[in-house]
A = this chain, B = another copy of it.
């Protein structure tokens, strides 16, 4: 049985991802979750607190994703894993990632972008692969990563697998 606190969290996440933070009122969240509006403030102090709870909840889930790279030894496999991340986002976690990517366009406060955590990892990979300028190549990959994630989250992609293969080919990684 999910507690009402979790119910509020999940409902708010969906609505924030769908309509944006500012455009989603606490009364709408309460109504959608089937709880009284006051309960939101009992559990989360204020609307910002609710957002931070969602972000924290998701950040932990997200960390695990990036740590998955340690399952691979060879830098080629690690790079492959990272490049495939955007295409392997779980459907039920889509709202969270959409919210995260949308938030970075609103004020600088919410810039917990995946790329930030990912950067040192990617630099290390290109160093091992003996690229002449690992930092630069990493910056490029993260830009590409952003573009891929955007395409997936906004459902702009038709042949997901074909695009995935094309990208892997560019770095000479194959299935």
Write the residues of chain A forming the contact surface with B, with a CB cutoff of 8 angstroms.
Answer: 18-20, 22-23, 98, 101-102, 104-107, 111, 115, 133, 136-137, 139-140, 142-148, 150-151, 154, 156-159, 162-163, 166-167, 170
Contacts and interface: CB of A to CB of B under 8 A. Distances in A.
A104 B153 CA distance: 11
B140 A20 contact: no
A105 to B, nearest CB: 4
B20 A106 contact: yes
Contacts of A151: 143, 146
Query: How many copies altogether?
Result: 2
Contacts of A105: 20, 98, 101-102, 105, 154
Contacts of A136: 159, 162-163, 166
- Specify which of A18, A20, A133, A163 lies most central, judged by the most chain B CB atoms within 10 Å of its CB: A20
Contacts of A156: 115
A104 B139 CA distance: 24
Contacts of A162: 133, 136
Contact of A163 (B18, B22, B139): B139
